[in-house]
Chains A and B, each alone.
Chain A
Amino acid sequence: MATLTLLQAVNDALKTAMRDDPNVVVFGEDVGPKGGVFLATEGLTKEFGENRCFDTPLSEDGIVGAGIGMALNGLKPVCEIQFQDFIFPAFDQIVSEAAKFRYRSGGQYTCPMVIRTPYGGGIRGGLYHSQSGEAYFCHTPGLKVVIPSTPYDAKGLLLASIDDPDPVLFLEPKALYRQLKGEVPEGRYKVDLSTLRTVREGRNVTVFCYGAMVPVCQRAADQAAEKGIESLVVDLRTLLPLDEEGVIEAAKQTGRVVVVHEAPRFCGFGGEISALIAEHAIEYMEAPVVRVTGFDTPFPNTLEHHYMPDERRVLDAIEHVHGF
């Protein structure tokens, strides 16, 4: 078992998939000889050749559009959008095309493909290298939305996504790329999509989170524990299709819920979690659900540490719902 960063785990997953299946192709801006701006695709062109891992023109619409055509015709494209902030020219291809091909053709044409893209703040990237756009995509039937938070999950979820028969948007928390290391098995293994991960057990408060917010919530839960509040921290890791039963069950366990994400609050994913609990577990609730999120503003540069939920804000919310 190797100890890898999340970024190295992504790279390991890509190599594993490409070794196992000659139909897997990796492409995007600067992913070839350079290995990607974050080096997620380092060494792939060298090992698998320019037909399997290659640079494309600077066009997100073209990257995803061509990827769809490859998927329709038997390849397994894993394309990279350099930053999630730049994905919007491809929004039409993802939302109107990849996510709808199976449905609109009655299953005659399908799009098994993965769109990888780094998302989120924490690198002083300002408005256009920091956004968390998951909610736009979670509103799209036919698409799967996956966000890992550990090296182990990054590899296992990415391999599961590449094997999946439907299009997967794989959002990588760039703040965690090199921040933490973890044990990652060699070779092939999978983490099933649409399953939750219990990060930490606790009987007082349930904290739902994903991506770069997971370690933040873990630290906040540790601080809460020092004050005698035990938090159940749940990493959602697949937002669509969500394990709704698992969410409802975890909410019922404590009756006190905090939901944490970097994205703006209004119509954010936390709203969906909150609504699920209101619909299915209201009688178990001891306190109103509290959302800890980015502000309903664009993402600031210099003051990003105020924008992104941190341990203070999560701890404050845990204490609030616990004391309600």
Chain B
Amino acid sequence: MAASQLLTVIEPDGGVNGHDVGMTNDELLHCYRTLLRTRAFDDTCMKLQRSGRIGFSIPNKGVEATQIGAAAALRRTDWLFPSYRDFGMALYHGVPMVEMMHNMFGNARDGAKGRQMPVHFSFVEPVKFVSISSPIGTHIPQAVGAAYAMKQRGEDTVALASFGDGGTSSLGFHSGLTFAGVWKAPVVFLCQNNQWAISCPSSKQTASESYAIKGKAYGVPGVLVDGNDVLAVRQATLAAVERARRGGGPTLIEAFTFRMAGHSTSDDPSRYVPKEQFAEWEKKDPVLRFEKFLAKKKLWNEDLRAQWTTEALAEVDAAAKIAEATPRPGIESIFSDVYADVPAHIRKQGEAAFDLARRKGDASAGDGKFPL
């Protein structure tokens, strides 16, 4: 594996060209099912947003193989520092869809109590899926710090920080890789190069020959992998994870993929992505790619896809119904969790807000649409 040579496992005919896949049939089918569940969750959230039932979503279509492949290389005791386009990783490790849907609706059962935009998940169980923030790259040095703590305690866990191609231009990428290289921290950097940072193509993001090669100057080995190939991403991530567990230090993985949709529900990619690029990558759809491989192993047929897709859509639908019927958080949730204890000045502001609501009625909620 190298920074300039693309690692691919699944061949066009579904073969693996002599690679040792190293996964049981159950594991492979868990990957497949998670691909379908991720896509079903994504599809449904887009529809919920278009019909005005939620305010915002972040499409995942096209980049699922990178998420599932990376998640499949991790244990549940490892820590994920995700970006906002990573919910496939949470699904892979068993986060219930309804928990994710509570966040999409920002209701009273949302872990973040409705304080964050949709898709800004935070989970501690069954896996550490660290609270997502919107600023780009800030979580990269945080993953290095969490990894330092693991190393200091002699644990064999690792941290994985996931970010996009645009994230490599951030301050956090520079400081994160600098620190990880010096500390030999047990961390894996996963750059999901989907070729577009909102509307900015890689050619305007960097003059570097690749993102993977950027690791070299930090003393962090860089690996370029086919991001639409679940098995290639898993293989590259597993090698990086095992290296980190052994004390070998960090790795930068660039997964080359494509976002088959807009940046968010507020974005129209037809304004900047050439039509031909969409057409080209439709053919490289990561789900179809994995199905080819499974079919060759006699683990797949059309019926399986139909059955699991139907089940996944029903699961999302049920989750959405529960989340939608769950009430909004109470006003008091605005004022808690700022600090461990509520300080006097915040308590007073809360009491004034309750008092005003009693006297003048609740504030008007607006239509909840993200206007960009």
Contact bitstring B81-110, A, C-beta under 8 A = 1, else 0: 100000000000000000000000000001
Contacts of A194 in B (CB 8 A): 343
* Interface 0/1 of B321-349, CB less than 8 Å to A: 00000000000000001111001111000
B79 in the interface, Cβ–Cβ < 8 Å?
Answer: yes
Cβ of A62 and Cβ of B339 under 8 Å apart? no
Q: Are A106 and B122 in contact (CB-based, < 8 A)?
A: yes
Smallest Cβ distance from A257 to chain B, in angstroms? 19
Among listed A89-97, A119-127, A259-267, interface-contacting one: A89-97
Please measure, in the bound complex, the distance between the C-alpha atom of A74 and the C-alpha atom of B146, giving whole angstroms. 8
Interface residue? A61 (CB, 8 A): yes
B residues within 8 A CB of A93?
Answer: 138, 141
Q: Quick one: given A62-B179, A242-B345, A244-B344, are A106 and B337 in contact (CB under 8 Å)?
A: yes
B136 to chain A, nearest CB (A): 10
Question: From A242, which residue of chain B is reached at the shortest CB distance?
Answer: B345
- Flag A57-70 by CB within 8 Å of B: 1 or 0 each: 10101100111111
Q: Is A19 at the interface (CB under 8 A from chain B)?
A: no
**B122-137 near A? 1/0 per residue, CB < 8 Å:** 1110000011010100
Name the interface residues of B292-329: CB closer than 8 Å to any CB of A: none
Let me know if A69 and B131 touch, CB within 8 A: no
Verify B122–A61 contact, CB threshold 8 A. no
- Give the residue of B175, B344, B346 whose beta carbon is less than 8 angstroms from that of A62: B175
B172 at the interface (CB under 8 A from A): yes
Residues of A within 8 A of B133 (CB): 96-97, 100, 104
- Min CB distance A34 to B, Å, is 17
A187 neighbours in B (Cβ, 8 Å): none
Contacting A69 at CB < 8 Å: which of B115, B122, B141, B343? B141
Min CB distance A260 to B, Å, is 22
A103 within 8 A of B: yes
User: Pick the contact of B142 from A69, A89, A104 — CB < 8 Å?
Assistant: A69
What count of chain A residues pass the 8 Å CB interface test?
46
A108–B122 contact, CB under 8 A? yes
- Using a Cβ–Cβ cut-off of 8 Å, how many residues does chain B contribute to the interface with A? 47
Contact status B124-A108, CB under 8 Å:
yes
CB atoms of A103 and B338 under 8 A apart: yes
CB < 8 Å: which of A61, A72, A107, A244 contacts B146? A72
Residues of A within 8 A of B339 (CB): 102, 142, 144, 165-166, 241
Contact of A166 with B115 at beta-carbon distance under 8 Å, contacts A66-B148, A92-B171 already known: no
Complex contact B122–A142 (CB within 8 A) = no
- Shortest distance between the CB of A284 and any CB in chain B (Å): 19
A103 to B, closest residue via Cβ: B337
Residue A73 is within 8 A (CB to CB) of chain B in the complex: yes
Task: Tell me if A51 is interfacial: C-beta within 8 Å of chain B.
Answer: yes
* Binary B-proximity of A193-220 (CB < 8 A = 1, otherwise 0): 0100000000000000000000000000
Establish whether residues A73 and B116, one from each chain, have CB atoms under 8 Å apart when the complex forms: no
Within 8 A of B (CB), among A97-118: 97, 100-110
Within 8 A of B (CB), among A39-70: 51, 56-57, 59, 61-62, 65-70
Cross-interface CB contact of A68 among B124, B142, B343, cutoff 8 Å: B142
Are B337 and A102 interface neighbours, CB within 8 A? yes
Given contacts A57-B178, A102-B338, contact A73 B79 (CB under 8 A): yes
Given A61-B171, A104-B120, A141-B338, 6 other A-B residues pairs in contact with their CB atoms under 8 A? A57-B175, A57-B182, A66-B144, A70-B149, A102-B339, A106-B112
A-B contact pairs, 18 of them (CB 8 A): A65-B172, A66-B142, A66-B179, A69-B143, A70-B149, A72-B142, A73-B145, A75-B149, A75-B152, A93-B141, A103-B115, A105-B131, A108-B111, A108-B123, A108-B124, A166-B339, A194-B343, A244-B345
Nearest first, the 5 closest Cβ-Cβ pairs linking A and B are A69-B145, A65-B141, A62-B175, A66-B145, A241-B343
Interface residues, chain A, with chain B CB atoms under 8 Å away: 25, 51, 56-57, 59, 61-62, 65-75, 77, 89, 92-93, 96-97, 100-110, 141-142, 144, 165-166, 194, 241-245
